[in-house]
Chain A
């Protein structure tokens, strides 16, 4: 097939800078640093990188969502500046997002029709065209289904149809296999390969090395915003230019204590304190919840022991969000009980010295009661639940000290300063949370939760968006906490990042709302 360079990034950098807030400290974050890359038609080009390496930013620049701070984007040989994604679409570059933005109220057909020209919506004509496209990609989707009712995998397919309908030369796919069931992934990638054979240029974003090796014609690796490698898979003689160990090396940052993410199995290892009580401190029984327009969970039961780390793994769409919300009391479950066994003396509040067991049914399960029972929660939604962009650092750190009548006394000021210093974050306490990076925010949230002296710590996707170093630090923190007797429960959809031999004592899998 003929390949030609359709688009090219030349020395593109993207720097995010937040306006100075009251503290006068502007915040700079370099998402992309001088990246130059060509993208051709008839080629499957994979962009590989860790979370936060800049992959999404790169394709956002290419697809017109993000303006580069420096450098140029060339399309068909001409330097271009996209004013919007529609602009890019007109030039032949389409993108399918990881969480596609579709209108829930409309059907699949109507969503595809949104972008079309013409005054009238000719449904039957469009239907034929779309069905043809669907056939090419091995997609079986009811065009009359309302998007609201679709699974994440089907939403992806609907968005894909919308992108293909525009007849692009370059198609960007952002981690498409993340929402697909393992059995469907190969089929999807094969269909992509066929489209590539027909002349489409495909740009695949992924953080999975095996995927990149298996399907790509060309691999580029990003690390911390810089391009560290780019080459075809095979040279002219048909020899492999890249293999998995090379890629792992490219992805590695100077590791802390030589810890590397691996895809190996999780094995158990005792953390060594024989005095750990065998009694579960946190047990869930028959928890079910079915919120509107979200995956439901049914009959979730598990227990967790003090001094251990329990992991619950699940793919997006398996009900992780619902489980998190139900466990933290943010939505009301249909049924089930959460039983907490508070140890004597050092529970969440100074409530007597006797061990006490509290059972919380659906009507009594809310964040306040959980915290009273010594449970600390680190949410997946750091920006709006763990904190808020418009709150100052002091404001969101002092949340649990607000039971007092008078606040902002010396004790509070000292607490805030202490936390900031320990986490190594240079900031005036009045600085707004929006100026902090994801990693900084996560550290502060964790510090705040730990400061309340909980006996149970539940974290959801804590490692998301953290670079390798910060993830390693987090791991150490959690191991420490477990060693000191805390019950740690981690909900995550990317188990590979944390599961380094023996991190988890117990592993449970969440599949389609059920635990196994």
Chain B
């Protein structure tokens, strides 16, 4: 029993990071469509930089820096040109897919799995530390939302942006900031996944970005209920893995589950009912 719980808690860390990032973004009024691509991209970069530098910490830091910079640029472009945020997010996902395949082929010579151990880099992942960090972030975010001016204004940027602009506060800055925070959290998730596996695999995120969005809405857009939602989804994933091992479910079908689940959550929770869809400002 205890090993199962520990396993679930450890498994939950990447999804929790991703969910918290999506939560910040959603509060600012931006649906974090780009999460999935950001996770995969940052995971790939983390492996690449770790192989280059030999240090997982440096790898994580460099990957996070690149991912945040990239999403910062896209966010700025979206704000300045009035682009459709959903399409922008989708293009990030598409670009991540293409870029990771290019990086993988050109740097590692393969479009398949890039294993750290066989290339001479040993990574010992302190699971407890990573998991604690994830839960710690959840608590931190809860405090920030309630007790800081930044958290207060972030929420207003999402619901009544004009209330900020007449006070001379630019909601656009908060939206761009939320993209960056989400990107950083995505890097945490991507690195956690990659180092946990000790390798980069194509489609590293496996739809977790979308599960994260579902968790945000299932958790009523509040940090602590989101943790509960994440644990729920992770438990489901754990059970699915066991079933798959037994041979019950074909692996191809499982690839579609995160999307189906997210759709189901959106239909049932109905975040849009009574107000404009969150994607449109």
Taken residue by residue from 136 to 153, chain B's Cβ proximity to chain A (1 for < 8 Å, 0 otherwise) reads as 000000000011111011
Interface size on B, residues (CB 8 A): 20
B109 at the interface (CB under 8 A from A): no
8 A-B contacts, Cβ less than 8 Å apart?
A: A85-B166, A86-B167, A86-B168, A87-B168, A89-B168, A114-B163, A120-B147, A121-B152
Q: Are B149 and A106 in contact (CB under 8 A)?
A: no
A381 at the interface (CB under 8 A from B): no
Q: Which 4 A-B pairs have the closest CB atoms?
A: A86-B168, A84-B168, A103-B160, A103-B156
Q: With A101-B166, A103-B159, A105-B159 given, can you name 4 additional A-B contacts, CB distance below 8 Å?
A: A85-B166, A119-B150, A121-B147, A292-B274
The residues of B that contact A116 with a CB separation of less than 8 Å are 149
The residues of B that contact A106 with a CB separation of less than 8 Å are 152, 155-156
Q: A118-B149, A119-B149, A121-B148 are in contact. Are A85 and B167 (CB under 8 A)?
A: yes
Q: How far is the CA of A436 from the CA of B176 in the complex (A)?
A: 35
Taken residue by residue from 152 to 192, chain B's Cβ proximity to chain A (1 for < 8 Å, 0 otherwise) reads as 11011001101111111100000000000000000000000
The residues of B that contact A86 with a CB separation of less than 8 Å are 167-169
Shortest CB-to-CB span from A83 to chain B, Å, is: 8
Q: A113-B152, A120-B147, A120-B148 are in contact. Are A64 and B159 (CB under 8 A)?
A: no
The residues of B that contact A85 with a CB separation of less than 8 Å are 165-168
Residue of B nearest to A119 (CB): B148
Q: A119-B149, A121-B149 are in contact. Are A105 and B155 (CB under 8 A)?
A: yes
A164 at the interface (CB under 8 A from B): no
Residue of B nearest to A63 (CB): B166
Q: How far is the CA of A87 from the CA of B169 in the complex (A)?
A: 10
Shortest CB-to-CB span from B150 to chain A, Å, is: 7
Most buried by B among A105, A110, A116: A105
Q: Are A114 and B153 in contact (CB under 8 A)?
A: yes
Taken residue by residue from 51 to 88, chain A's Cβ proximity to chain B (1 for < 8 Å, 0 otherwise) reads as 00000000000001100000000000000000111110
A130 at the interface (CB under 8 A from B): no
Taken residue by residue from 259 to 281, chain B's Cβ proximity to chain A (1 for < 8 Å, 0 otherwise) reads as 00000000000000010000000
Q: How far is the CA of A120 from the CA of B164 in the complex (A)?
A: 18
Interface size on A, residues (CB 8 A): 27
User: Which residues of A, 100-137, contact B by the 8 Å Cβ criterion?
Assistant: 101-106, 110-111, 113-121
Shortest CB-to-CB span from A69 to chain B, Å, is: 21
Q: How far is the CA of A110 from the CA of B152 in the complex (A)?
A: 8
Q: Are B149 and A104 in contact (CB under 8 A)?
A: no
Chain A residues near B (Cβ < 8 Å): 64-65, 83-87, 89, 97, 101-106, 110-111, 113-121, 292
Shortest CB-to-CB span from A366 to chain B, Å, is: 20
Q: How far is the CA of A120 from the CA of B143 in the complex (A)?
A: 10
The residues of B that contact A83 with a CB separation of less than 8 Å are 168
The residues of B that contact A120 with a CB separation of less than 8 Å are 147-149
The residues of A that contact B146 with a CB separation of less than 8 Å are 121
Shortest CB-to-CB span from B60 to chain A, Å, is: 28
Q: Are B162 and A101 in contact (CB under 8 A)?
A: yes
User: Which residues of B, 101-153, contact A by the 8 Å Cβ criterion?
Assistant: 146-150, 152-153
Q: How far is the CA of A105 from the CA of B27 in the complex (A)?
A: 12
Residue of B nearest to A89 (CB): B168
Shortest CB-to-CB span from A143 to chain B, Å, is: 15
Q: How far is the CA of A504 from the CA of B159 in the complex (A)?
A: 42
Q: How far is the CA of A1 from the CA of B196 in the complex (A)?
A: 73
Q: How far is the CA of A102 from the CA of B159 in the complex (A)?
A: 10
The residues of B that contact A292 with a CB separation of less than 8 Å are 274
Q: Are A65 and B149 in contact (CB under 8 A)?
A: no
| Residue in B147, B156, B162, B274 whose CB lies within 8 Å of A114 | B156
The residues of A that contact B147 with a CB separation of less than 8 Å are 120-121
Q: How far is the CA of A101 from the CA of B159 in the complex (A)?
A: 12
The residues of B that contact A84 with a CB separation of less than 8 Å are 165, 168
Q: Are B160 and A104 in contact (CB under 8 A)?
A: yes
Q: How far is the CA of A114 from the CA of B164 in the complex (A)?
A: 8
Q: How far is the CA of A119 from the CA of B162 in the complex (A)?
A: 22
Q: How far is the CA of A116 from the CA of B153 in the complex (A)?
A: 11
The residues of A that contact B149 with a CB separation of less than 8 Å are 113-114, 116-121
Q: How far is the CA of A106 from the CA of B167 in the complex (A)?
A: 15
Q: How far is the CA of A114 from the CA of B162 in the complex (A)?
A: 12
Residue of B nearest to A105 (CB): B159
The residues of A that contact B166 with a CB separation of less than 8 Å are 65, 85, 97, 101
Shortest CB-to-CB span from B85 to chain A, Å, is: 20
Q: How far is the CA of A113 from the CA of B146 in the complex (A)?
A: 12
The residues of A that contact B150 with a CB separation of less than 8 Å are 119
The residues of B that contact A65 with a CB separation of less than 8 Å are 166
Shortest CB-to-CB span from A332 to chain B, Å, is: 14
Shortest CB-to-CB span from B45 to chain A, Å, is: 32
The residues of A that contact B165 with a CB separation of less than 8 Å are 84-85
The residues of A that contact B163 with a CB separation of less than 8 Å are 101-103, 111, 114
The residues of A that contact B162 with a CB separation of less than 8 Å are 101
Q: How far is the CA of A374 from the CA of B69 in the complex (A)?
A: 60
Most buried by B among A101, A110, A119: A101
Q: How far is the CA of A85 from the CA of B169 in the complex (A)?
A: 9
Shortest CB-to-CB span from B220 to chain A, Å, is: 13
Shortest CB-to-CB span from B62 to chain A, Å, is: 30
Q: How far is the CA of A116 from the CA of B167 in the complex (A)?
A: 10
The residues of B that contact A105 with a CB separation of less than 8 Å are 155-156, 159-160
Q: How far is the CA of A257 from the CA of B181 in the complex (A)?
A: 66
Shortest CB-to-CB span from B271 to chain A, Å, is: 14
